[in-house]
């Protein structure tokens, strides 16, 4: 099996941002007198910011006057984060350099807004390593629907079944597979467990370093 393109998720895969998202969300919600319940948070993992805002507004109506106000507040908080708050995940830069040095078509396909994607990529200095960056905010549907992955494949010019997707969440994994791509999942254990992927994907890796070893061992990109 040889893949002609690699499409990366961002939050939880390339950058260790999920704990920071949780911290920002928790502060925002609990400053309005609520407790951020685990079952509510689970509904927000891997979804677009507008879908997140709808969920939060439904459960915690005092947080903002509207879902739009919640989007504005969470975006302002996240865009103010410094680099030390959003470190790269183990093997992230190495994986990006691996595909870049081999001139393999590549892109980010993320549920975050375009502004947040650009901010996090800029913080890491990855602009040159991954020049194509796509946000699900512009798609009709967010993950777990396949729209953002299908869009990324079209923009790259590679058929979905020749693309490898790298993901960390259940919703993202479902989106990539629904798009017809092979997905290697590196679960972010800050918000999920290995058992969550049972029956969804059996291509699980502990880190992006393990994915790189598989690239070399199996010749997926050569």
pLDDT digits (tens, 9 = 90+) for 136-191: 999 999 999 999 999 999 999 999 999 999 999 999 999 999 999 999 999 998 77
The residues with which 109 forms a beta bridge, in sequence order, are: 134
pLDDT digits (tens, 9 = 90+) for 52-92: 999 999 999 999 889 999 999 999 999 998 889 999 999 99
Exposure pattern of 168-186 as b/e (b: 16+ CB <10 Å)?
Answer: bbbbbbbbbbbbbbbbbbb
Q: In this predicted structure, what is the pLDDT of residue 222?
A: 65
Homologous superfamily in CATH for domain 5-16+87-218: HAD superfamily/HAD-like (3.40.50.1000)
pLDDT digits (tens, 9 = 90+) for 103-145: 999 999 999 999 999 999 999 999 999 999 999 999 999 999 9
How far is the C-alpha of 5 from the C-alpha of 176, rounded, in Å? 13
Q: In this predicted structure, what is the pLDDT of residue 207?
A: 96
Taking CA atoms, 182 is separated from 49, 99, 119, 192, in Å, by 26, 16, 28, 20
Please say if the pLDDT value at position 220 is more than 90: no
How far is the C-alpha of 135 from the C-alpha of 121, rounded, in Å? 13
Where are the domains positioned within the chain? 5-16+87-218, 18-83
């Amino acid at each position: 099996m040889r893949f002609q393109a690699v499409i990366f998720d961002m939050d939880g895969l390339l950058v260790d941002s999920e704990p920071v998202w949780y911290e920002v969300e928790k502060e925002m919600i609990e400053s309005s007198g609520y407790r951020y319940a685990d079952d509510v948070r689970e509904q927000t993992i891997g979804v677009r910011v507008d879908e997140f805002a709808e969920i939060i507004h439904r459960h915690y109506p005092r947080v903002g006057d509207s879902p739009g106000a919640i989007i504005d507040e969470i975006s302002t908080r996240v865009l103010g984060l410094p680099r030390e708050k959003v470190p790269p995940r183990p093997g992230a830069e190495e994986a990006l350099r691996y595909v870049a040095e081999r001139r393999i078509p590549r892109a980010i396909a993320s549920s975050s807004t375009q502004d947040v994607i650009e901010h996090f990529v800029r913080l890491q200095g990855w602009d040159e390593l991954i020049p194509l960056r796509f946000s699900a905010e512009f798609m009709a549907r967010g993950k777990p629907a396949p729209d953002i992955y299908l869009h990324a494949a079209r923009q790259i010019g590679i058929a979905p079944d020749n693309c490898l997707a790298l993901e960390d969440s259940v919703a993202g994994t479902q989106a990539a597979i629904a798009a017809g791509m092979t997905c290697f999942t590196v679960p972010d254990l800050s918000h999920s467990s290995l058992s969550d992927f049972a029956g969804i994907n059996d291509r699980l890796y502990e880190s992006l370093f393990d994915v790189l070893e598989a690239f070399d061992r199996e010749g997926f990109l050569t």
